[in-house]
Amino acid sequence: GEDVEQSLFLSVREGDSSVINCTYTDSSSTYLYWYKQEPGAGLQLLTYIFSNMDMKQDQRLTVLLNKKDKHLSLRIADTQTGDSAIYFCAVDYEKLTFGTGTRLTIIP
Amino acid sequence: ETGVTQSPTHLIKTRGQQVTLRCSSQSGHNTVSWYQQALGQGPQFIFQYYREEENGRGNFPPRFSGLQFPNYSSELNVNALELDDSALYLCASSLETGGVKDTQYFGPGTRLTVL
pLDDT tens digits, B50-72: 989 998 999 999 999 999 999 88
A68: Cβ contacts below 8 Å, ≥ 6 apart = none
Chain B residue closest to A96 (CA)? B45
Closest CA to A89 of A8, A17, A5: A5
A24 strand-pairing partners = A4
Report how far residue B32's alpha carbon sits from residue B73's, in angstroms, rounded to the nearest whole number. Answer: 8
Distance from CA of B87 to the nearest CA of A (A): 12
Q: What does each of the 108 residues of chain A score in pLDDT, given as a tens digit? A: 678 999 999 999 999 999 999 999 977 778 899 999 998 888 999 999 998 999 999 999 999 999 999 999 999 999 999 999 999 999 987 688 999 999 999 999
- The per-residue pLDDT for range B9-48, each reduced to its tens digit, is 999 999 999 999 999 998 888 999 999 999 989 999 999 9
Length of chain B: 115
**Is pLDDT above 70 for B1?**
no
Query: How far apart (Å, rounded) are the C-alpha atoms in residues B64 and B56?
Result: 13
More confident residue, B6 or B97: B6
Closest approach of A15 to chain B, Cα-based (Å)? 27
Q: Which residues partner with A35 through β-bridges?
A: A45, A88
Cis peptide bond prior to B8, omega within 30° of 0: yes
Would you call A94 and B43 a contact, using CB atoms and an 8 Å cutoff? Answer: no
Burial class (CB in 10 A: 0-12, 13-18, 19+), B98: exposed
Q: Tell me if B46 sits within 8 A of B102, measured CB to CB.
A: no
Distances (CA, A) of A97 to A74, B22, B31, B44, B81: 17, 22, 17, 7, 24
Beta-bridge mates of residue B5: B24
Q: Is there a contact between B23 and B82 (Cβ–Cβ < 8 Å)? A: no
- Most A CBs within 10 Å, among B21, B36, B37, to test the A interface: B37
Are the CB atoms for A85 and A105 separated by under 8 Å? no
How far the first Cα of chain A sits from its last, in Å, is 40
Contact B77, B20 (CB under 8 A): yes
- By CA distance, what is A103's nearest residue in B? B40
Residues of A in contact with B101 (CB under 8 A): 92
Q: Quick check: A44 and A36 in contact, CB under 8 A?
A: yes
Beta carbons of B42 and A98 less than 8 Å apart: yes
